[in-house]
Amino acid sequence: MYQQMQKRTQAADSARAQRTGGEYDEAQYLRELNDRLDANVISGVWNHKDEFGSSDGSTVMIHPDFLRRMYDDPELGAKYEAEINAYAKSDAEGRKRLEAEGKTITSSGMYIDENGEMNSYMATTGEYGGGKANGPGAAKEKGEKTPKEKGEKTPKELMEEMLERIAEKRREEMAEAKHVAEEEAADKSTEPGQIVDTMA
User: pTM score, two decimals?
Assistant: 0.58
Report the alpha-carbon distance of residue 63 to residue 85 in Å, rounded: 18
- Name the pairing type of β-strands 104-112 and 118-125: antiparallel
Look at residue 112 and give its three-state secondary structure: strand
Average confidence (pLDDT) over 164-174: 72
Q: How confident is the model at residue 41 (pLDDT cuts 50, 70, 90)?
A: very high
pLDDT at 162: 65
**Residue 154 — pLDDT band, cuts 50, 70, 90?**
low
Q: CA-CA distance, 74 to 52, in Å (whole number)?
A: 26
Closest by CA to 107, choosing from 144, 141, 175, 57, is 57
> Domain ranges in the chain?
2-10+24-183
Write out pLDDT tens, residues 131-141.
333 333 333 33
The Cα-based distances of 151 to 32, 73, 104 in angstroms read: 43, 44, 19
